[in-house]
Amino acid sequence: GLFINNRWAAPSADTYLTSSNPATGAELAQIAAGGAAEVGAAVSAARAAFATWSTASGHERARHLYALARGIQKHQRLLAVLESLDNGKPIRESRDLDVPLVARHFYHHAGWAQLMAAELPGYTPLGVVGQVIPWNFPLLMLAWKVAPALALGNTVVVKPAPYTPLTALLFAEIAAEAGLPPGVINIVTGGDQTGAAVVEHPGFDKIAFTGSTEVGRIIRRATAGTGKRLSLELGGKSPFLVFDDADQDAAIEGLVDAIWFNQGQVCCAGSRLLIQESIAEPFLEKLRLRMRSLRVGDSLDKGIDIGAIVDPVQRERIDSWVQRGLAEGGQIFQPDTPLPTDGGCWYPPTLLTDVHPAAEVVQEEIFGPVLVALPFRTPGEGVRLANNTRYGLAASVWSENLNLALDVAGQIKAGVIWVNSTNLFDAAAGFGGYRESGYGREGGKEGLYEYVRPAWQTRRQPLADAQPNGTPPAPRESAWGAHTPDRPAPLGDTDTPNGAHSPTNGLPHIDRTAKLYIGGTQKRPDGNYSRTIPGADGQIIGVASDGNRKDIRDAVEAADKASGWARKTGHARAQILYYIAENLSARADEFAARLAAMTGSSGAAEVSAAIDRLFTYAAYADKYGGSIQETVLRGMVLAVNEPVGVIGIVCPDDAPLLSFVSLLAPAMARGNTSIIVPSERYPLAATDFYQILETSDVPAGVVNIVTGARDHLAKTLVEHDVVQAMWYFGDAAGSAEIEARSAHNLKRTWVSYGQPRDWFDAEQGAGAEFLHAATEVKNIWVPTGE
Ligand code: NAD
């Protein structure tokens, strides 16, 4: 049945799926398949419960989460057995890892419920959250989503994976038994259609998804323009680097855990072994020997190492990848230990060598017990190979030289790095990816921000003309649909004197068309177009360049080349931000006059607020580096706030200098490089600003300014693969376009849906939201001791 409002309900369409035991093929249960009606009922229940749950005290919610944790512990044996039966994973794993971690998540987040008022002041829960989860860690993925959501006052509708719904249903029963109020947790089981019904239901304030990158992309498109928040935990192809000075026996055991834990059906599986050439052969020989002793068998047998593959469909998929690897020239090793011969679904541990770095088996997620191995020579080459992937979920680094290991950990683009260890998880440390492994974190304080919003913000309203199925509205002809920008009548060559410049003293005026600022130099726009900028009184006060795609591409290239900015010390970045503030201060009157002429408002207050803001981020340049996570590990887990990379920033028209500085400065402070599109209506404060950048020692390419038609430029930016995040402060339709178009490489987006923001206000115009957007949290696990 479906679990809605603490009651069991039958699906209205009377459709059921079969859940079976992968180790035997035997049917375990018939599972209700919910449709749109059931999702609707669950949303209504969750919405009703939200009113009281979100206003309950933190302590009250903490008591409930604590009761859930206790309930899980009380039933841990049953949960572990059921998980292993339903999924096929070894009972040793579900008993010693999955279920204890589930309890740990509820205990840890009971603490966050208790501390929410103290630790997240000014934040409020999002509302009703739809959570769609995969089959590889059915109960653990549920806990990672449900615990933080509930702790912070949200209510949820969970859609378990079709292969493995049973522990979610048992969990529901435990929750009701523990006294959780009706409607706080609702479980709607079913297949992919049920997942789609959750994603498309307009009643959710957020969708949290864990699953494949392919479905993540579908969900990004489906939620674009709906105002729903989104977090995506997707696939991976994580590297496992072994250096020649590694403790090889430990690394071999690590590898067994990395790729044969849970039959390799692990999003962060160490599925790409990168091994230093000098030790490659003896290491691989040791590995083959170890593989011969791995036992494959029934999930309830405590003596096995590898259980059953979740379903014959998955098994076929794994095998077809292996066949493709062989066709690509790979060499295969599979130990000759026998597989069970009963009706179960088995696949032997598999090693593929002699594979090319670009081979599909090296690039694509196989999601099974298949390891590919490649050699590397130098640490630099190892890092390059490690990063040669569209994913960025996790990595393991093995070396007894901590200097080398930590240096490499810093260079790998992934959300979790395990030094001399692998597959360590804890509720106190965030988990989540870079790049196409998705965005958002689960666990750690960083994970809490996925379930709250600043209290001053209202829920973003869906686009009025969005289609009911969530597809974004038909593109507006202007910038998003047509390939030509909707620009004002071109003035011809920018050198041509024009209406803005009446001759003085009988001589023609010297043209002052503001240029673009790309790679540290002023550039004429590629198309040689410009636009006149009217002042507050309607008189033309200047001319700005009209950038095009080529200019954006040049700017992205310059920003990408300036990645050395990320390696500067926080102190050095702070010095440069102070220098910018100093130079702005020296020219404050000139900027104030420019602002007054453009907007008619008092420019002086805005310039002064912009200087204040530069000081704020100069301060944050060396005060937001990260923290130590207090996990259950003996050793250290470092949560490092890394730069996101190249950020595309599209500014609003409000407070054109202050909003420009308020967006630019946090990106710079935290080591990002950016391409910034200033206010379309009032661009001149930003173009004056490049003179300040030029005189403030800002390295070339760190900031690139392209003026012109906002949405036309935004479109090129969001579609550029090198741009890793898009901040768009424009209208709801443009925000919807940005979200939809971000799906192709799953870049992070931060869009405003046209919501006003008081840029002068310290809470709305600066602080945690900005710093969060400017950073990726990387968790580096460093075990210590023997
Ligand atoms: P999947 O994407 O096929 O399915 C995941 C969930 O989404 C299931 O509940 C499914 O029913 C639902 N779903 C499928 N199509 C949908 C649609 N169009 N709209 C809405 N929901 C839909 O993934 P899977 O095969 O269950 O799981 C394997 C994948 O999950 C792997 O790629 C793995 O890397 C990833 N994963 C990631 C993490 C992480 O934290 N990053 C953790 C576990 C698994």
Mutate to test the pocket of ligand 1, among 132, 166, 189, 218 (most ligand atoms within 8 A of CB): 132
Ligand 1 pocket member 161 (CB < 6 A): yes
Q: Are 728 and 751 in contact (CB under 8 A)?
A: yes
- Can you tell me which residue has the tokens 């040689």? 528
Residue 321 neighbours by CB under 8 Å, 6+ apart: 360, 361, 364, 366, 368, 370
pLDDT value at residue 498: 40
Ligand 1 pocket member 367 (CB < 6 A): yes
Window from 347-351, 398-402, 494-498 with minimum mean pLDDT:
494-498
What pLDDT, in 10s, does the model give residues 518-576? 999 999 999 999 999 999 999 999 999 999 999 999 999 999 999 999 999 999 999 99
What atom in ligand 1 is closest to the CA of residue 191? 11
Residue 527 Cα to ligand 1 middle (Å): 45
What atom in ligand 1 is closest to the CA of residue 219? 19
For residue 504, count other CB atoms closer than 10 A to its CB: 9
What pLDDT, in 10s, does the model give residues 596-642? 999 998 899 999 999 999 999 999 999 999 999 999 998 999 999 99
Across the range 386-392, mean pLDDT stands at 98
Ligand 1 pocket member 159 (CB < 6 A): yes
> What region, left, alpha or beta, does residue 423 occupy, with left being phi > 0 and alpha being psi -120 to 50 degrees?
left
Ligand 1 pocket member 391 (CB < 6 A): no
Q: Give the separation between CA 187 and CA 709, rounded to whole angstroms.
A: 46
Ligand 1 pocket member 193 (CB < 6 A): no
Ligand 1 pocket member 184 (CB < 6 A): no
What pLDDT, in 10s, does the model give residues 268-324? 999 999 999 999 999 999 999 999 999 999 999 999 999 999 999 999 999 999 999
pLDDT value at residue 463: 75
pLDDT higher than 50, residue 16: yes
Strand order from edge to edge, sheet including 185-187: 7-9, 2-4, 185-187, 155-159, 128-132, 206-210, 229-233, 438-439
Q: Are 411 and 259 in contact (CB under 8 A)?
A: no
Strands, DSSP E only, in 587-722? 626-629, 635-643, 646-650, 673-677, 703-705
Per-residue pLDDT band at 461 (split at 50, 70, 90): confident
* Listed residue (703, 708, 616) closest to 662, CA to CA: 616
What pLDDT, in 10s, does the model give residues 637-654? 999 999 999 999 999 999
**What pairing do the DSSP bridges indicate for beta strands 185-187 and 128-132?**
unpaired
- Using alpha carbons only, give the angle 498, 502, 504 rounded to the nearest 5 degrees: 140
Active-site residue list: 233, 267
Residue 367 Cα to ligand 1 middle (Å): 12
Residue 365 Cα to ligand 1 middle (Å): 13
- Can you tell me which residue has the tokens 């919807």? 736
- Using alpha carbons only, give the angle 252, 376, 568 rounded to the nearest 5 degrees: 105
What atom in ligand 1 is closest to the CA of residue 211? 30
What pLDDT, in 10s, does the model give residues 677-690? 999 999 999 999 99
Per-residue pLDDT band at 512 (split at 50, 70, 90): confident
- DSSP tag of 95: I
Residue 15 neighbours by CB under 8 Å, 6+ apart: 32, 33, 35
Residue 88 Cα to ligand 1 middle (Å): 17
Ligand 1 pocket member 365 (CB < 6 A): yes
What pLDDT, in 10s, does the model give residues 242-265? 999 999 999 999 999 999 999 999
What pLDDT, in 10s, does the model give residues 432-456? 999 999 999 999 999 999 999 999 9
Window from 20-29, 264-273, 482-491, 607-616 with minimum mean pLDDT:
482-491
Q: Give the separation between CA 612 and CA 619, rounded to whole angstroms.
A: 11
> What region, left, alpha or beta, does residue 211 occupy, with left being phi > 0 and alpha being psi -120 to 50 degrees?
left
Q: Are 696 and 583 in contact (CB under 8 A)?
A: yes
What pLDDT, in 10s, does the model give residues 97-145? 999 999 999 999 999 999 999 999 999 999 999 999 999 999 999 999 9
pLDDT higher than 60, residue 224: yes
Per-residue pLDDT band at 487 (split at 50, 70, 90): very low
Q: What percent of the chain has pLDDT over 70?
A: 94
3-state secondary structure 134-167: CCCCHHHHHHHHHHHHHHCCCEEEEECCCCCCHH
| pTM metric for this prediction | 0.95
Q: Give the separation between CA 321 and CA 361, rounded to whole angstroms.
A: 7
**Cα 27 off chain centre by:** 37
Phi, psi torsion values for 753, nearest 5 degrees:
55, 30
Residue 366 Cα to ligand 1 middle (Å): 14
What pLDDT, in 10s, does the model give residues 170-210? 999 999 999 999 999 999 999 999 999 999 999 999 999 99
**Cα 364 off chain centre by:** 19
